[in-house]
Copies of this chain bind each other. A is one copy, B any other.
Amino acid sequence: MNISEFKKNGHMIIDWIADYFENIEKYPVKSKSSPGEVISKLPACAPDRAEKFEKIFGDFEKIIMPGITHWQSPSFFAYFPANNSFPSILGELLSSALGAQCMSWATSPAAAELEEAVMKQLAKIIGLPESFCGVIEDTASTSTLCAALSAREKYSDYSINSEGFGPENKFTAYCSGQAHSSIEKAVKIAGIGKNRLRLIGCDKNYAMMPSEIFAVAAIGTTGSTAIDPLRAIGRICKKYGIWLHVDAAYAGSALVLPEMRYMINGVEYADSFVFNPHKWLFTNFDCSAYFVKDKAALIKTFEILPEYLKTSEKSAVNNYRDWGIQLGRRFRSLKLWFVLRSFGVSGLRKIIKKHIELAQYFAEKLSAENGFEIMAPHPLSVVCFRFKPRAGISQEKIDAFNAGLLEKLNSSGKLYLSHTKLGKDFVIRMAIGQTGTEKKHVKAALDTIIKTAKSMSK
């Protein structure tokens, strides 16, 4: 593809994307593709000769598109959102064209410095104290792993990095039973061990013992967006010298609203904090904002300086390769910068506030319907509910009914919801947060959910 072909194909794709967003509501939200359907249409070998872009793009439309689940649909209410925006898409397009690998300051000075500037702006926007210092990671999984490793190293005086685990592995990590699976994964990867991760009920006392290292407070759990009591946990962590990591992957974006900052009351006790602009801040996946208080501990955990990476800046610069796991890094700050400026802080607030209000509206309307139960508090934009087809029915039957209801709703193509368990109850999660979601989409969802549940229970 030469430059003039690129222009032609690029314009075509921009128009295609515009059409896609214009017509996104016409697609089934969750793909109706069956396992093996896409791969059966793909050849076993790559072609020997170059193919025309028209042909490749035709296959994209014919083979790939029917297998796409439309995360950007305004009726995508599953999991957490991974919302998007046009300025973010254009920022990512520029980053991918420049193709800069941002491992060191020298390999892209503007990328390193824009990242520093944007992360400072972001910390201010969400009300983080100035003692925090930020870096963009890919996902909260990675950010939380960075926190676990920094804690491990700081409390072992960096001896595990050098010597490996010695005869004593005294570490324990804590989080609530509703905290995200990435915490278990991080504790496993770091060699601490899943069985040393203690799950604590949110209603119990946090009576921690010395020799512990790592606690994770969830601001907005994945199941029901519960908010752990940060100040109370923070005081205990401070007393015993425990690394406190705050996982606000989804809920962090809501901190753009001053009235939501109560959620991080006590954040000054935290050692690290993560939230994902790629979830609810209109910045397309991936973009995870990781903030730490002790920058030196982070860098000391990850820095490497082989000869071939030495550069000659005389003054201090940030070489972000030493702030995380990967050496290679994309220029992610550009899309985030485009988003912050294109929306403005007031614009971000307006949409986030609308999403929260829509969730409250949804909960209110649904709870007024016979048979529907709201299963957890809903301080943000996620509502957990279930339908009880009749009184006196067993727990197993209620769960089975709701699993069937979810399956039926999702296979309708009209909307996409996910589920979790709260206590022993199977609950359906309505997560509102797509960029284009308006009241009419929530109303349509309500209507579909109510009609489907009632017709199934007849």
Contact = CB atoms under 8 A, between A and B. Distances in A.
Interface string A38-51: 11001111111111
Contacts of A346: 48-50
A108 B47 contact: no
A190 B314 CA distance: 33
A54 to B, nearest CB: 11
B7 A14 contact: yes
Nearest to A9: B90
A354 interface: no
A31 interface: yes
Interface string A1-38: 11111110111011101101110000000110101111
B101 A285 contact: yes
Given A7-B14, A110-B67, A313-B35, A306 B72 contact: no
B138 A49 contact: no
Interface stretch (A79-87, A204-212, A231-239, A445-453): A79-87
A94 interface: yes
B343 A108 contact: no
A56 B110 contact: no
A284 B96 contact: yes
Contacts of A64: 110, 114, 334
B327 A182 contact: yes
A392 interface: no
B56 A338 contact: yes
Contact of A86 (B5, B78, B181, B302): B5
Interface string A170-208: 010000000011101100111111111000000000000
Interface range for A: 35 or more
A188 B190 CA distance: 9
A328 B49 contact: no
B35 A86 contact: no
Contacts of A88: 96
A189 B189 contact: yes
Contact of A193 (B7, B56, B160): B160
Contacts of A63: 110
Given A10-B90, A223-B308, A278-B328, A68 B169 contact: no
Contact of A308 (B79, B106, B166): B79
Contacts of A33: 109-110
B18 A14 contact: no
Contact of A141 (B39, B140, B141, B325): B325
Given A344-B46, A344-B51, A35 B105 contact: yes
Nearest to A93: B93
Given A48-B344, A308-B223, A419-B308, A3 B31 contact: no
Interface stretch (A118-126, A258-266, A360-368, A370-378): A118-126
Interface in A59-105: 60, 63-72, 78-79, 82-90, 92-94, 96-101, 105
* Leading 3 A-B pairs by shortest Cβ distance: A164-B193, A67-B110, A191-B191
A307 interface: yes
Contact of A138 (B68, B138, B302): B138
A347 interface: yes
A355 interface: no
